[in-house]
Structure 1
Amino acid sequence: MEHSEMIKSNADALRTLMAKRLGLKRGSLSRRVAKAGRQLPSGVRNDIAIVAEAEQMARNPKLAMRLDPNATKSAYDRAATHLKAIDVVDRRKGIALSVLGSMAFNFLAAITLFIVVLRWRGLI
């Protein structure tokens, strides 16, 4: 029984970390993993999926006996370590710089095209 409680607390901790670090606040753990998509490496997604599956199995007493506590704990540790290492401020800066960079490129491409058209028409 204590293993089931440990799995539930680990799943709750992963839900909290995903809410804080990735902004995924709704849905079950498996749904949050699906929503995270490419924000998480495949190994971390697999580890979180292991914990989510263990949480589902822990609800049924007969299935709970089949769980491997060491595998579940190590999967939780790997996923939690990765989620704790995510810097939210740096992610936001990266997204903002990416958007600004693409806007600057599009602006320069439009200006270049405009100058080429003016030159082609003989207005410059």
Structure 2
Amino acid sequence: MQEKDMILTLKDWIKSFWELQEDDIRFFLEDFKELMRDPKALLDELKFRMKRRRAFYNIFKHLSWRDLPVKELDWVQQKMDELLARESLITETVNKILNIMSEVFFDDELEEIKKAKKILEEDRIIYH
């Protein structure tokens, strides 16, 4: 049997992005301390996570709110508010880590840190 392509709905995106955020939260709670011993690996991990976010942000920009059933509108608005609050905390945490790293490390790492910060600044979720 052949698999059919599915159209990603706003509701699907919300559920997927929620899981992405859960993964980031687990990272900060469980793996972050271990990676602090290797600043290059930590920086690479943060850049990887920010690039995943960029992909999600880009997908979000193309999703339609018009196809959303009226009965799901309240759920979607509530989840979007929760996602944005969590996203703000995650982004703030990453920015603080990058700021600390830029204070502690030398110039060669500083350029990499600036690149990671640029990833954060380039894309934001657009919410109406």
Give the TM-score, by structure 1 length.
0.31
Is the radius of gyration larger for structure 1 or structure 2?
1
Q: Which has the higher helix share?
A: 1
